[in-house]
Every structure is written in structure tokens, then in C-alpha cells.
Structure 1
């Protein structure tokens, strides 16, 4: 690298430093006035980045004059960051390059004034101009590198995002394990032993708070734009520690399906949607609801018409009772089944009733069901019918 600043008088650096504040103000003013892309308030990341770039350049130039060395890695990182910032703002490098040229002209005009006051010779003034624009070239080159690095990273990320979307679609479609493993590696989303699919409810009204929690973390596959939005969690226990994700799940009345092997992801999503569609709004609002905590109930509500048919047949002996009597008998019958044919005192203790009341109810149940109690298969079907009714009732009532 040529270093024209190396031949400038060392004392010039001290004189230039005295002007740094006013030169910085003038450069920023001219950039905002003459370059349309930068004609906005110096706030946020844009303002911080632009001011930092100008200040860094004005700090570095006298350092180069004194040391006769080369730009430091720390300063070059600042210039590269300016290039990355242009990409993030959706601009090409044209505006930044124009800002460099304009800043160079302002710096040359002000530095030349300092040089004349310091008594610099004409040949030294020529070298000063060369040094200023050589420094501008260094900054522009670093910004170009930063811009290119950011674009490469973005394009790579976009490619990975596209592959993750494909992986998401294949997971919920039930693709073979080999295909999932290959695409997961390409998408940089390590395929776990278990995944959980999450069924989401409608999006809430747009608010500032909702906007902040509206997107899941990168580790979570998702489709929020489809008719029936959902997520795929790679590590439910870890993912659910993320407060932003939890906020999204509560905001969207989420139901988290059982953890299953990746090839069973469609089942996890189907079960989660079934529970979501059956639960009342009050219960969903307290969510997220975890299907893993209620697998037996999930099984029982899998086919409600069949469950109703089973209950109607197995509990037909109670059909002629009043609603209140039927509920008492069903509760007593389930307690008896739970205690494996327990005694009246055991049933009474379980239900919080008098032993004599329990004895009377058991006697009545034996009258109603007769020899059914002696058949293990019939007892199993009775318990299925009773627990199925309980599960449906639990899903149907407000919580």
C-alpha cells in the first residue's frame, strides 16, 4: 500500500486535530444537504453509523501522519460496517461512495487552510491532497468489502431459509426419513429425534406489542401465512424457554402437539389442531396447551361419534335415570373401576360420601348392570365410555 501521508510533517497532525470537531460538523452537514439518500435526521442506526464513520476517518488521518503507518484493523472494521449498513438500508454503494468523495473535498479544503497557516511548502500541499484521497480510497475499499461480505451472508441465509421452508413442508407432509435428513443438513437445521408441531389460532389485531413478538426464533420452522398457521419445534423444552416465543404462543391460542419422530410430524400437527378446535376460547387463552400432558384424552376424543356410540351402548342401563341420578351413578361406577372393584368404604372415601350411601349405589349398579361386572372386557369398555364422556365434557366446558 502506498502511504503518501508518511512524508507529511509530523507537526501537521497536531494542527489538524484542533479542527476535527468543526470539520466533522461541516462534512456531515454537506453530506446531508447534497446527497438525497442521506437527507434525513441523524438518528437510529443510520445516524450512529454515519457519524461514527466521519469521526473515525478524522481521528485516523492525523494518526497516519504521525505514525507513517497503515490504517489499523479496528478502523477498517468501522469502514466495513458502513458498507454492511448500506446493504441493510437497501441501498447500493453509490451514495456512500459519493459521501466519501464529498467528505474528501471538504477535508482537503479545510486541511489545506491548516497547512497554509502552518507554512507547508507547495510540494507538501500536493502530497497532502494525495494523502487525503489515498485515505478515502482505503475507506471506500473497506466499505466495498463489507458490502460484499454482507451480501454473500444474506444470499447464503436466504438460501438456507428457502431450504428450511422446503423442509417444513416435507415434515408436515410426512416425507421419508432419508429425504428429511438430507434436506435438514442442507438447511442447517439439525434433524432431532423428536419434533412437536404447534397449531396456532388467528392472529391478534396488529399492535406495536404484537409486532415485537410476531415472529418465531430462527430455530423454529413456521408457516404463519397459510390458512391454518403452524410451527415446528425442534427442541420443545428448550424452545419454550424463549420468552418471545411464549408470548407468540399465548397471543395465538396455541396448542402444542405431542413430541414425535420427524416422520410423524403430520400426526403431531393433526392432533394439535384437533384439540385446538375442540377447546373453548377461555381454555386456549390460558395456553399454550400441551397435548403431551393429556395423551389419553387425546386418544379418547379421536373419534367422538364412535365414542358416543360406545358410551350409549355400554351405559344404556343408566338411560332411564334422571340427569342427576345418572351423574352420581357414573361417578360411583368409575370410582369402583378405579379401585379395581373396591369396597363401599373405599368408594365412600374416594368420593367423600357416607359408606352407607356408597353401599346403596353399588347395590343399585349391580342391579342395573348384572353379570357385566364379572366380564373384564365389559369392564374395560365401561371405563372407556366413562372416561371418554369425561374428556369430551372437559373439552367442552369453559375453564
Structure 2
């Protein structure tokens, strides 16, 4: 069992080790650091990401500096340790900013100690180290691991936001999303307590449930509720290119949707539109990349906002066509859609569909006989075009 130590107690828990031991150990550091990192990445999924990622780079730097410091303390017990201590605290702060607990980092410390001790057990007899020196080395090593954990915890706690301030901001976000809208006075009073300036416009962001969030990448002026079944963010103002990059970095594994930019009193509408759009992204109807903006897809959102209504419109305006077999129906609807959107000649429509003009003329006569006077009625034509567009979008989402 290891002892709990305070930062700065490293090595002094045991008798001084032979300083010449540091010369031999320093030769082992490059290969030992590589072995420690490989074992940690293999055992802890969070550290198994691409080696160029900030999470793994922070781990690599931490391991190298920790091992170097351990050997330096043996060579010169009074050597400065400020740089190493700040690295440990930074690792703890990084975990807090990423929105994680210290479990992974503490597990990494334990794995590092195990790998290092296996190396000691292998090389100790080769170097003819006495049992006394081996015992001292073991005590120093595990005291060192305790100090790593203590320093990381210190940095972790320093990086955690004030729980009271976070609670005020969560309450403020809930207040802004209340329906009917809360009074401006109530919002202003709570915003003052939450140390948040109420902007002229806000943009709500819908986040897929279970998304990993890199909290360190989130701008400090955002309001967030990422713990529920429908996580979301509030961005003050419009989502410009800088905000888009920020969202992509903060939510690297999730496809998020930004609602429309609205006055704070309409924040609930912005979130509702974003949430309505999120399933369309997940189904493949929309595929804009890591961040989808509602404002780029308003017609699609409107067309697919009420699928049952689209079905009713289809029954009323396309009843005759729906009775045909699937091949005839698809060909006629494709011709009808092209005619409605281009209003071209038979030759132009034939070129668009890659068929003979006579085929287009035949299909149009078939459509006129099936749909009757609807093609001559502007309102009916508009309804049919809307239905066809909605049907095409739904089939796109279904992969057809």
C-alpha cells in the first residue's frame, strides 16, 4: 500500500539512493517512456487516439517529464522541480477542462508505476543492486506516484468552475428557454448573478445525446446543458466562422445543429428548430459536415416538419399515380417533378431524364389523364411540387 504524501515530499520518505544509480537509470529513460506510453494507450481507450491528438501529446509530455524528474531527484535530491510540478497540475487541469473525472489519469499513473517497477525488477539484478537499494527504490517510486496524483488533483480542482456560478448559468439557460418567455427583468437579474451579459441575439445548438465534449474548446461565454437526454448550448450572437470552428473542435465526434439566431425572448424557437433538424442530419437527409446550420435548410425543415401532413397531401393530389405499379409510378413522378421544376419543352425534359422526347410526351399525357385538372390549377401544382420535394427528401434519408 502506498502512502499519501503532500507535494514536495518526494524521495525524502526514504533514505537517499546512491547517486550513481541515476546515471544508469537515465540511459533507460527513452525506452522506458516509450514502453509506459504504449502500455497506457493499450489499456486505457481514452489515450488510444491518434498520437497527434492533444490528449495523447499531453500524456507523452507528462510521462517524459515525470521519469526525468524521478531520476533527477536521485541524482540531485535538491534539484528544482517547478517545471515538473506544473506539468502534473496541467494534466489535472486538462482533464477538468475536457469534462472528465481523474479516473483515466490515475489509472495511467498506476500503469506507469507498474511498468517502471517491472523494468527495475529486470535490470536490478543485472546491475547487482542490493536488496536494500531495491527496497529504497520501490519506496521512492511509489511515493513519487502519490505525488503525481496529488499534483494532478490540485490542478484538477483549480480548473473546475465555481459550482455556484455554474448553477446560476444553468438556471439562466432554463429561464431563457421557458415558454411562455420570461420577463426581461427576470432574465437581466439572473444574468447579473451569473456574470453573463445578455446579448441582442442568441443561437441555440442541439447536440446529439452522449456526444463527447472537449470543454476546453468551448468559448467561455456559452451557456450549456450537456447532461440531459437532449443536450444543448446557447451561443451569444450569431454563429460565425470562428464559432463554427469552435463547435467542431469542442464536439469532434458528434454532428451538431445550430438553430436560427433570434432575440433572447425567442430562444426556445431556435432550440426547437435545431432539434427538429438534428434527426434529419442523423438520417442522412442533410449532410453538411460536423456542424449543420438550420438557416441553410429552412425549406427542407418546413417540408419535413409534419410527415403526416405530407402523406395527406400526397393522397389528395397524387391518388391516381399511387395506384400504378412502382416502376410506372417512379417514372411518371420523375417526369412530373422535372416538368414542374423546369417547365421545359418535351425535348428539354427528355434530355434531363435521358429518355426520348416521345417518351416524355406519352408520360405527360398519362399524367394529365391521371391527375385531371390539377396540372392546370396553380394551387394544385404548387401542392404537388411540395409533396414531390418532401417525398424525395424522405427517400434520400432512407437511402433510396
Q: TM-score, normalised by structure 1?
A: 0.55
The corresponding residue for 1:91 is none
The corresponding residue for 1:247 is 249
| Pair 1:316 & 2:319 matched | yes
Q: TM-score, normalised by structure 2?
A: 0.55
1:291 CA displacement: 2.1
| Pair 1:302 & 2:309 matched | no
Contact 1:213 1:247 in 2 (8 A): no
Q: How does 1:18-97 map to 2 (within 5 A)?
A: 36-40=6-10
The corresponding residue for 1:372 is 374
Could you say which structure has the higher helix fraction? 1
| Pair 1:169 & 2:139 matched | no
1:275 CA displacement: 2.7
Contact 1:307 1:385 in 2 (8 A): yes
The corresponding residue for 1:187 is 194
Secondary structure, counterpart of 2:240 in structure 1: helix
Do the aligned partners of residues 372 and 230 (structure 1) sit closer, same or farther apart at CA in structure 2, a change above 3 Å counting?
Answer: same
Q: How does 1:207-246 map to 2 (within 5 A)?
A: 212=214, 216-234=218-236, 235-243=238-246, 245-246=247-248
1:215 CA displacement: 6.4
Contact 1:216 1:222 in 2 (8 A): no
Contact 1:344 1:362 in 2 (8 A): no
- The whole-number CA distance in structure 2 between the counterparts of 1:214 and 1:324 is 54
Do the aligned partners of residues 292 and 352 (structure 1) sit closer, same or farther apart at CA in structure 2, a change above 3 Å counting?
Answer: farther
The corresponding residue for 1:334 is 337
Secondary structure, counterpart of 1:225 in structure 2: coil
1:315 CA displacement: 0.7
1:211 CA displacement: 7.1
The corresponding residue for 1:381 is 383
1:216 CA displacement: 2.8
- The whole-number CA distance in structure 2 between the counterparts of 1:211 and 1:195 is 21
Gaps of 5+ in 1: 1-34, 49-53, 57-80, 89-152, 205-209
Do the aligned partners of residues 158 and 290 (structure 1) sit closer, same or farther apart at CA in structure 2, a change above 3 Å counting?
Answer: same
The corresponding residue for 2:207 is 200
The corresponding residue for 1:276 is 278
1:37 CA displacement: 4.6
1:343 CA displacement: 2.4
- The whole-number CA distance in structure 2 between the counterparts of 1:156 and 1:220 is 13
Secondary structure, counterpart of 1:258 in structure 2: strand
1:250 CA displacement: 3.8
1:370 CA displacement: 1.8
- The whole-number CA distance in structure 2 between the counterparts of 1:180 and 1:352 is 60
- The whole-number CA distance in structure 2 between the counterparts of 1:36 and 1:213 is 29
Is the deviation greater in 229-238 or in 379-388?
A: 229-238
Root-mean-square deviation over aligned CA pairs: 4.1
Secondary structure, counterpart of 1:203 in structure 2: coil
- The whole-number CA distance in structure 2 between the counterparts of 1:211 and 1:270 is 21
Contact 1:253 1:284 in 2 (8 A): no
1:281 CA displacement: 5.9
